[in-house]
């Protein structure tokens, strides 16, 4: 059994994919991914095909020598997006005020393309200690304004495949996790802009996001998540804002990476924080 992009592929699945490629030698990679998704019935919870995940999975299968894809139609390999600092994200005057003294906070969804998206990416690349990394799978990004001032940016995406301390907290096994993992959403980035000095702002934003995200996720993907997770690198950060927003510290990662199936530590260990979005989260995740 091989695992790619959160799905287990049996030897029969891999043979079926190779056979599909063989029977369709002139089909390009994008329509080929749709054929494979239909053949394996690989779909999102809302019924749409997981085409992007399938394309990434097949590239990894090819790298592992399991299949041979048709030649790419892209003349040159795509470079990872580079976000060179521009005046649009230069440091601004300090805003020093407690959160209750600020204008009303507003969370706005940042769409996948356009000027707002590029600006979000540039801010995160320039000021977040982890920089900007594209997310795969389901995702939502927000910009946060206090009146007309941009104060923060955050994003949510796919959860980690396996976390022993999280699994103990939920009380689920392998099959339950495989079946319901999409019901957990990961807070991948959270950035308060460096010139914003507002006591209580971070926890306030987390509370607003926890109330807003389930509705936005439902509208975009057709289902509601029941839990949020995030990772805080200690001792760099203490997770104070998550604690203030009633997230629960349940343990630590072992440093293998979000989607890794290896057994060696390759990354710094991080604290695991969880936020149940419903009281009956355990029953739903154990179903």
pLDDT at 19 over 60: yes
Q: Does the pLDDT at position 44 exceed 90?
A: no
- Whether residue 77 is preceded by a cis peptide bond, meaning omega within 30 degrees of 0, is no
Of 27-36, 46-55, 152-161, the least confident? 46-55
The confidence score (pLDDT) of residue 264 equals 56
What's the pLDDT score for residue 272?
96
Confidence of residue 201 (pLDDT cuts 50, 70, 90): very high
Q: Does residue 113 have a pLDDT over 90?
A: no
- For the chain, percent of residues with pLDDT exceeding 90: 63
**Which pLDDT value is given to residue 176?**
92
* Contact between 103 and 167 (Cβ < 8 Å): no
End-to-end CA distance of the chain: 24
Domain regions of the chain by residue span: 2-63, 87-286
Q: What predicted TM-score, i.e. pTM, was given to this entire model?
A: 0.77
> pLDDT (tens digit, 9 = 90+) per residue, 165-191?
999 999 998 889 988 999 999 999 999
Q: What is the pLDDT of residue 192?
A: 97
CB of 216 closer than 8 Å to CB of 227? no
Q: How confident is the model at residue 81 (pLDDT cuts 50, 70, 90)?
A: low
Reported as a single tens digit per residue, the pLDDT across 116-126 is: 999 999 999 99
The set of residues, in sequence order, having a beta carbon less than 8 Å from that of 172 and lying 6+ positions away, is 180, 285, 286
Q: What is the pLDDT of residue 78?
A: 54
Task: List, in sequence order, every residue forming a beta bridge with 7; answer none if it has no partner.
Answer: 4
CATH topology of domain 87-286: Aminopeptidase (3.40.630)
Query: For every residue of the chain, which 3-state class applies, written as one string?
Result: CEEECCEEECHHHHHHHHHHHHHCCCCCHHHHHHHHHHHHCCECCCCCECHHHHHHHHHHHHHCCCCCCCCCCCCCCCCCCCCCCCHHHCCCCCEECCHHHCCCEEEEEECCCCHHHHHHHHHHHHHCCCCCCCCCCCCEEEEEEECCEEEEEEEEEECCCCCHHHHHHHCCCHHHHHHHHHHEEEEEEEEECCCEECCCHHHHHHHHHHHHHHHHHHHHHCCCCCEEEEEEECCCCCCHHHHHCCCEEEEECCCCCCCCCCCCCCCCCEEEEEEECCCCHHHHHHC
- Under the banding of pLDDT at 50, 70 and 90, the label for residue 159 is very high
What confidence tier does 48 reach under pLDDT thresholds 50, 70, 90?
Answer: confident
Summarize pLDDT for 214-268 with one digit per residue, the tens.
999 999 988 999 999 999 988 788 899 999 999 999 999 886 655 555 555 556 7
Task: Please report the pLDDT score of residue 73 as a whole number.
Answer: 73
Distances (CA, A) of 61 to 140, 150, 254, 257: 28, 42, 26, 19
Output the pLDDT for position 137.
78
């Amino acid at each position: 059994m091989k695992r790619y992009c959160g799905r287990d592929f049996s030897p029969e699945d891999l043979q079926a994919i190779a056979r599909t490629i063989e029977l369709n030698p002139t089909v390009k990679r994008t329509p080929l991914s749709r054929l494979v998704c239909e053949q394996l019935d690989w779909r999102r919870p809302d019924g749409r095909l997981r085409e992007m995940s399938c394309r990434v999975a097949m590239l990894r299968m090819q790298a592992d020598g399991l299949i041979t894809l048709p030649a790419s139609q892209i003349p040159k390999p795509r470079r990872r997006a580079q976000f060179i600092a521009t005046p649009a994200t230069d440091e601004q005057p300090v805003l020093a005020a407690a959160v209750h003294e600020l204008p009303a906070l507003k969370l706005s969804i940042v769409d996948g393309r356009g000027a707002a998206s590029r600006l979000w990416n540039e801010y995160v690349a320039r000021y977040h200690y982890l920089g900007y990394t594209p997310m795969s799978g389901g995702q939502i990004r927000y910009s946060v304004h206090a009146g007309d001032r941009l104060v923060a940016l955050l994003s949510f995406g796919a959860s980690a495949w396996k976390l022993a301390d999280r699994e103990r907290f939920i009380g689920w096994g392998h099959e339950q996790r495989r079946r319901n993992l999409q019901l957990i959403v990961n807070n991948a980035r959270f950035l308060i802009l460096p010139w914003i000095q507002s006591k209580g702002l971070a926890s306030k934003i987390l509370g607003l996001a926890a109330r807003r995200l389930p509705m936005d996720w439902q509208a975009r993907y057709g289902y509601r998540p029941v839990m949020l997770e995030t990772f805080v690198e200690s001792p760099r950060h203490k997770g104070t804002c998550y604690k203030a927003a009633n997230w629960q510290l349940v343990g630590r990662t072992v440093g293998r990476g979000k989607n890794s199936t290896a057994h060696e530590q390759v990354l710094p260990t991080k604290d695991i924080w969880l936020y149940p979005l419903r009281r009956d989260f355990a029953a739903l995740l154990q179903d």
